[in-house]
Amino acid sequence: MKVSQGKSNAKIILMGEHSVVYGKSAISLPFFAAEVTAKVEEVSEGVEIISDYFSGPLDEAPSILNGVKELIDTVLKRLDMKSSGLKITLDSKIPAQRGFGSSAAVSVALSKALYNLVGQTLEPTALRELVEKAEKIHHENPSGLDGDTIVSQQAIYFIKNKNTSNIKINMDLDLIVGDTGNPASTKTAVQTVYNNENRDSEIEKLGQLSQAVFLNIKNQDSILMGKNMTQAHQSLKALGVSSDELDEFVDVAIESGALGAKLSGGGLGGCMIALSEKNKSQLIVDALKKQGADTIWILDLKEI
Ligand code: MEV
């Protein structure tokens, strides 16, 4: 009986969440501190799934796993495999619904594990296509940013349906990620933006800020980059996708010396990111802990 594995990392959006849905540019980073592993084992009968949400026969899984079900179905058909005799274990260390792209990461790990089981190569284009199919079930009209960042495993500059280019950040700075611990639905956040009366003007601003940060990275201008990030937070707040905790985290990070801070991902909960010079990071981390941050990670932007 064969056994195989697939692994995936998470992602964190630097700039452009929400406005990316409306065709504006975004910058997103791979996040290797949290991983998901999928294991597939050949067994005598049935398709069983073991996950945090549900363990048992796949066809009895709750609707939250509909994307996973669709993905398994599609991959088995593509690989000409029968849908029985499989035990699938999903082990995700990526907190769900916090802006880390956990659903896209599960899709990547699972697709790789299934392809590995039959010894077939999975090209990045095919992998992206599979992930997007499953993402459409999680939230109707995904931009594709999550899937593309996770598949590429590099920082990307992204425009929906137009451009995915790998970029290098290479700045002597830290990006501090503070998790509020509050899960939030991307689908609800996307609808909140859609219904906001100031949508068009705020999306325009967010698009310009994202472009500005792209140039700040090119010019290694950390001061302006921080300011542009904080302005983006104000626009996201005006669009109704911030939360009291996220606003508090942004304020505390800036008061403790961050160059700028904003929410990251869909918002309404999830994570805040703060741009920090290396010698300020510990102060910011301590202040966020005091403010009640659930988990804090530090990404070295020199390495990305
Ligand atoms: C979610 O990680 C990012 C959003 O921009 C939605 C999307 O890009 O599909 C909020």
Encode pLDDT of 242-292 as tens digits: 999 999 999 999 999 999 999 999 999 999 999 999 999 999 999 999 999
| Distance (Å, whole) CA 244 – CA 219 | 33
Residue 268: Cβ-neighbour burial (10 angstroms; 0-12, 13-18, 19+)? buried
Instruction: Tell me the pLDDT tens digit for each residue of 228-256.
Output: 999 999 999 999 999 999 999 999 999 99
Q: Is the CB of 288 under 6 A from ligand 1?
A: no
Nearest CA to ligand 1 atom 2: 265
Helix (H, G, I), strand (E, B) or coil at 220: coil
What is d(CA 185, CA 221) in angstroms, rounded to the nearest whole number? 34
Nearest-angstrom CA–CA distance, 248 and 30: 25
The pLDDT-based confidence of 218 (bands split at 50, 70, 90) is very high
Angle subtended by helix axes 222-238 and 244-255, to nearest 10: 160
User: In the prediction, which pLDDT does 6 show?
Assistant: 96
| Residue of higher predicted confidence among 251 and 83 | 251
pLDDT of residue 43 exceeding 80, the answer is yes
DSSP-derived secondary structure letter, 301: T
**What is the reported pTM?**
0.93
Query: Which residue among 94, 132, 136, 143 has the greatest number of ligand 1 atoms within 8 angstroms of its CB, and so is best to mutate?
Result: 143
81 vs 276: which has the higher pLDDT: 276
Would you state the pLDDT for residue 137? 86
Check residue 96 and give its pLDDT.
85
Q: 187: exposed, middle or buried (C-beta count within 10 Å: 0-12, 13-18, 19+)? A: middle
Q: Judge if the beta carbon of residue 265 lies within 6 A of ligand 1.
A: yes
User: Is the pLDDT score of 23 beyond 90?
Assistant: yes
Q: How close is the Cα of 297 to the center of ligand 1, in Å?
A: 21
pLDDT, residue 139, reads 75
Centroid of ligand 1 to alpha carbon of 13 (angstroms): 9
Residue reference for tokens 């995936």: 8
Instruction: Give, in order, the Cα–Cα distances in Å from 262 to each of 101, 139, 227.
Output: 17, 23, 10
CA–centroid distance, 4 to ligand 1, in Å, is 31
Q: Are 267 and 243 in contact (CB under 8 A)?
A: yes
Q: What is the pLDDT of residue 64?
A: 87
pLDDT of 253: 98
Q: How far apart, in whole angstroms, are the C-alpha atoms of residue 203 and residue 200?
A: 5
Ligand 1 within 6 A of 20 CB? yes
- Under the banding of pLDDT at 50, 70 and 90, the label for residue 216 is very high
pLDDT classification of 53: cutoffs 50, 70, 90:
confident
271 lines ligand 1 (CB under 6 A): no
Q: Is 256 close to ligand 1, i.e. is its CB under 6 Å away?
A: no
Amino acid 95: pLDDT: 87
Atom number of ligand 1 nearest to Cα 142: 9
Give the distance between the most distant pair of CA atoms in the chain. 60
pLDDT, mean over the chain? 95
206 close to ligand 1 (CB < 6 Angstrom) = no
Strand order in the sheet with 295-300: 260-264, 271-277, 173-179, 295-300
CA of 185 to the centre of ligand 1 (A): 10
